[in-house]
Structure 1
Amino acid sequence: MPELGLPHALMTSISAPRPATAVLLAAGLGTRMKSSRPKAMQSLGGRPMLAHLLANAAEVFDRLVVVIGPDMEEVAELAAPYPVVVQQERLGTAHAALQAESWFGDGDVAVLYADNPLISAETLNSLLEERRKPDVGLALLAMRPAEPARYGRVVAQDGNVKRIVEWADATSEERAIDLCNAGVLCADAVDFRRWLHNVRNDNAKGEYYLTDVVDLAVADNVQVRAVEAAEDELRGVNSRAELAQAEAALQTRLRNKAMENGVTLVAPETVFLSADTQIEADVLIEPNVFFGPGVTVQSGAVIRAFSHLEGCEVQANAIIGPYARIREGTTIGTSARVGNFVELKATTLGEGSKANHLTYLGNAEIGSRTNIGAGTITCNYDGMFKHTSTIGDKAFIGSDSILVAPVSIGDNALVAAGSVITQNVPDDALAFGRAQQVNKAEMGRLFKERLQAKKENG
């Protein structure tokens, strides 16, 4: 039974600043996803689900603590430097929250879920503000989903939540309610501790459910209020299908934010962004472009169709693609150009330089106003180590050149087409790295005749 007496939240002055703690439950396995990785580590917008929630919660709460399961070193590493506690036995969500009890402190506590990764900082702040209103002892998040059947219903009267009823236990009248529980709760730390300790496990699964805290709060005559947010923020992710739905929701959010900030997306639904993609105003992005993690694009740049970028910086007024691949550690300089079927990795392409066709540049440092001819490659890997090719300013690298690193080509140097360059080329020099051409009179015709005869004779 709940303890008697006025709840602590109603006795605490809200005029003074109160610390706020968020407990993030991340002990779930990837069972329904058919994954060997924990559910919290499933990728969404190029980062683990838990990372989204950590980033948004950190904007609102003074302290975060993450609850994980046994042998979840990967999750613990992601959660650092926030404290981590281990739920040794998975006995339900209320039991998981209790594992973090020593971190509750004396202010307000919210319990969040790693598989609700898209809750915005604005919504979390609204939840905390609602809890801190006079006479509100418990606040929860709720939504009105398009298909509410699988969610528990929030039964309210005169603006106060009276109970949460699961679909299986709901009457036909209760099932008609479209306000659904998202599972996130916020209360004063003292009250939350008491309610969590009073949760019982007399249910079919023998687990301690966090939602039972609502009944305990109501029994304590505490006002319980629901804060509504969009389904796209509060949707749970428990399967691959739901992960795909969350990805679609996140992509819509990221695209809209980009366009609001002055980015032109010719076909927004075909552009895929990462959560950390940074694109300045007046960038033009054509259809079917993919941004992996760690991409920055400066103003005036154009990313043409079917290009793939990750871990790179594209500076102002550069043009990328179509069909270009820009990989980790690459910087594309101001007004530089990277054309079709060109791949760059760990490379700096200087201001105004060009690599327009069918080229691979890896571990290369390329100066300004240099032209890289079609078919050029840097041979940067010897099977054990990576080596650097350095090309100066205003150099010209002829088509089908092979630069065997480590090698340096000076300012204003010219490399003849079809060359294999294994030695440094000084400034202003012209380098030939070809084998000597030999023409054999009549041999072309005779060779073909010989082949034709062989073919005809079987």
Structure 2
Amino acid sequence: MSKRYAIILAAGQGTRMKSKLYKVLHPVLGKPMVEHVLEQVKAIGLEEIVTIVGFGSDQVKEHLGEESKFVLQAEQLGTGHAVMQAESLLKDKEGTTIVVCGDTPLITKETFQKLFDHHEKAGSKATILTAKAPNPTGYGRVIRNAQNEVERIVEQKDASPEELLVDEINTGTYCFDNQALFEALQEVSNDNAQGEYYLPDVIEILKNKSEKVSAFLTPNFDETLGVNDRVALAQAEKTMKLRINEYHMRNGVSIIDPDNTYIQPDVVIEQDVVIYPGSMISGTSVIKERAIIGPNSEITNCEIGEETIVKQSVATNSKIGNRVNIGPFAHIRPEANIGDEAKIGNFVEIKKAELGHGSKVSHLSYIGDAQVGSNVNVGCGTITVNYDGKNKYLTTIEDDAFIGCNSNLIAPVTIGKGSYVAAGSTITKDVPSEALSVARARQSNKEGYATRIKNRQKDK
């Protein structure tokens, strides 16, 4: 197998997006388009990847990092001109170079692999990735001769009525013999209405030299979508979402309503997980076997344990153990670590806190900057008062403690093992193990006082 290289075209501003964000950085399922492209070409094992950048070059470099080399196209003078910018890095190398646009996020590594293999097996100097378009309007048509060989590419504006009926289109992705590519680029002219250098002209130059040009027809037109505006961006998002959901379902995950379930590409989901509609699972989340997510839950960069239920809740950058019950309407904020068989109930917020095995925070509580042991019961309305306006402080609740409803735990403070905090208490000092702490005003009843108030109101 010959050495393989890639050139990713990512220099266009994308004016039709009507956005201040550089076009190829617009996300599809949470990841910039150009990053999708890079990951897929990288997956087939290349010697070198070169990304052509222009507008927003620093942002693109930041996203792709050391996975690619970069060349600046300071002036956007067409796709041929863009590829020319990689000359200093690739010109003298032997092998095959794929040229792909950074706004085609749906093309898979399998398609790239098949394109390379087809090109090298055919011994072609150039191979065009083509597809049959349901509506080819706007695309360049691939014209074949009587022997079914590629004859030329005809742009929409230059096509005859007969050529306009052709539904095989140029997707804008190519494989080239690397040295033949850069030699032909020297002959590409900008003698056209736009004054630009077009990469498809290389095909005609190679044909005029009697070099072999072939086409690989992909059966999946949807993969080849180029995103030029927000409508196409939404279409790409939908296509990738359904592709990912189908992958998980075929691997043993029950997604009740795939059209209304959003799972990002790097999420790992184990068998027999059930995901209900309206759920969003993002980042590098891992969902373990037999967990139940949703409906309407949002999980970001979390590990969710086996048989855990997350119902109508939000969890971010946290670890949640096995057989935990969360929700409805709970908020698990970053750096929470929730032990096995714990319970986080409705309208509970957990932030940067550790909860031990079997502990319960059932409703209407805030637990932040806390270490909570095992088998702790936190009553309704409890707050760890962790912030003095400048610094955060730690609350420690040891194993088997019982916190009564509507308690304020003023950090830093420790509630000892097996102790009780009476409902309505504001705790400012450590509570010893096995103690009962009561910190509230003594009740005083003034009989008849309510009647006196009512009589005054009547007099007015």
Same fold (TM over 0.5): yes
What is the percentage of aligned positions where both structures have the same residue? 30
The CA deviation string for residues 259-280 of structure 1, in whole angstroms up to 9 with x for no partner, is: 0111001111110111212111
Give the direction of change, closer, same or farther, for the CA distance of 1:175–1:431 in structure 2 (3 Å limit): same
Q: How do 1:396-411 and structure 2 match up within 5 A?
A: 396-405=377-386, 406-411=394-399
TM-score normalised by length of structure 2 = 0.90
Give the direction of change, closer, same or farther, for the CA distance of 1:447–1:77 in structure 2 (3 Å limit): farther
2:418 matches 1:428: yes
Q: For the Cα contact (< 8 Å) 2:285–2:301, is it kept in 1?
A: yes
Q: Secondary structure at the match of 1:65?
A: strand
Q: How far did 1:211 drift?
A: 1.1
| From 90, 97, 100, the counterpart of 2:76 | 90
Range moving further from structure 2, 111-120 or 222-231: 222-231
Q: How far did 1:134 drift?
A: 4.0
Q: How far did 1:103 drift?
A: 2.5
| From 197, 210, 216, the counterpart of 2:205 | 216
Q: For the Cα contact (< 8 Å) 1:283–1:302, is it kept in 2?
A: yes
Please provide the CA RMSD for this pair: 1.7
Q: How do 1:116-265 and structure 2 match up within 5 A?
A: 116-157=104-145, 158-229=147-218, 230-265=220-255
2:296 matches 1:306: yes
Q: How far did 1:292 drift?
A: 2.4
Q: How far did 1:441 drift?
A: 3.7
* Separation of aligned partners in 1, 2:83 and 2:454: 80
Aligned length: 428
Q: For the Cα contact (< 8 Å) 2:13–2:55, is it kept in 1?
A: no
Range moving further from structure 2, 329-338 or 63-72: 63-72
The CA deviation string for residues 433-458 of structure 1, in whole angstroms up to 9 with x for no partner, is: 2433634445556657767x69xx8x
* Separation of aligned partners in 1, 2:260 and 2:455: 53
The CA deviation string for residues 352-396 of structure 1, in whole angstroms up to 9 with x for no partner, is: 100121100111111111011210102x4xxxxxxx211011111
Give the direction of change, closer, same or farther, for the CA distance of 1:448–1:101 in structure 2 (3 Å limit): farther
TM-score normalised by length of structure 1 = 0.90
Stretches of structure 1 that go unaligned for 5 or more consecutive residues are 1-16, 381-387
* Separation of aligned partners in 2, 1:341 and 1:280: 25
* Separation of aligned partners in 2, 1:447 and 1:269: 61
Q: Secondary structure at the match of 1:96?
A: helix
Q: Which has the higher contact order (CA 8 A, sep 6+)?
A: 1
| From 42, 56, 60, the counterpart of 1:75 | 60
| From 20, 32, 44, the counterpart of 1:48 | 32
Residue identity matched to 2:198: Y
Q: How far did 1:131 drift?
A: 1.3
Q: How far did 1:167 drift?
A: 1.1
Provide the residue aligned with 1:59 in structure 2: 43
2:119 matches 1:114: no
Give the direction of change, closer, same or farther, for the CA distance of 1:448–1:292 in structure 2 (3 Å limit): farther
Q: For the Cα contact (< 8 Å) 2:12–2:55, is it kept in 1?
A: no
Provide the residue aligned with 2:265 in structure 1: 275
Q: Secondary structure at the match of 1:133?
A: helix
Q: How far did 1:410 drift?
A: 0.3
* Separation of aligned partners in 2, 1:441 and 1:224: 101
Q: How far did 1:303 drift?
A: 0.5
Q: For the Cα contact (< 8 Å) 1:98–1:196, is it kept in 2?
A: yes
Residue identity matched to 1:92: G
2:373 matches 1:392: yes
Q: How far did 1:216 drift?
A: 1.1
Q: For the Cα contact (< 8 Å) 1:66–1:79, is it kept in 2?
A: no
The CA deviation string for residues 60-109 of structure 1, in whole angstroms up to 9 with x for no partner, is: 22321111015521101122202111111111111111111222222111
Q: For the Cα contact (< 8 Å) 1:360–1:376, is it kept in 2?
A: yes
The CA deviation string for residues 158-181 of structure 1, in whole angstroms up to 9 with x for no partner, is: 232111111111111111111011
Q: Secondary structure at the match of 1:55?
A: helix
Q: Secondary structure at the match of 1:276?
A: coil
* Separation of aligned partners in 2, 1:445 and 1:272: 60
Residue identity matched to 2:441: Q
Stretches of structure 2 that go unaligned for 5 or more consecutive residues are 387-393, 427-439
Q: Secondary structure at the match of 2:6?
A: strand
* Separation of aligned partners in 1, 2:123 and 2:69: 31
Residue identity matched to 2:323: S
Q: Secondary structure at the match of 1:77?
A: helix
Q: Secondary structure at the match of 2:17?
A: coil
The CA deviation string for residues 177-222 of structure 1, in whole angstroms up to 9 with x for no partner, is: 1101101111111101111121111111100011111111211212
Q: How far did 1:301 drift?
A: 0.3
Residue identity matched to 1:307: S
Q: For the Cα contact (< 8 Å) 1:30–1:37, is it kept in 2?
A: no
Q: How far did 1:30 drift?
A: 3.4
Residue identity matched to 2:240: L
Give the direction of change, closer, same or farther, for the CA distance of 1:365–1:242 in structure 2 (3 Å limit): same
* Separation of aligned partners in 2, 1:295 and 1:136: 43
Give the direction of change, closer, same or farther, for the CA distance of 1:107–1:428 in structure 2 (3 Å limit): same
Provide the residue aligned with 1:294 in structure 2: 284
* Separation of aligned partners in 1, 2:32 and 2:303: 22
Provide the residue aligned with 1:33 in structure 2: 17
* Separation of aligned partners in 2, 1:447 and 1:204: 90
Give the direction of change, closer, same or farther, for the CA distance of 1:417–1:218 in structure 2 (3 Å limit): same
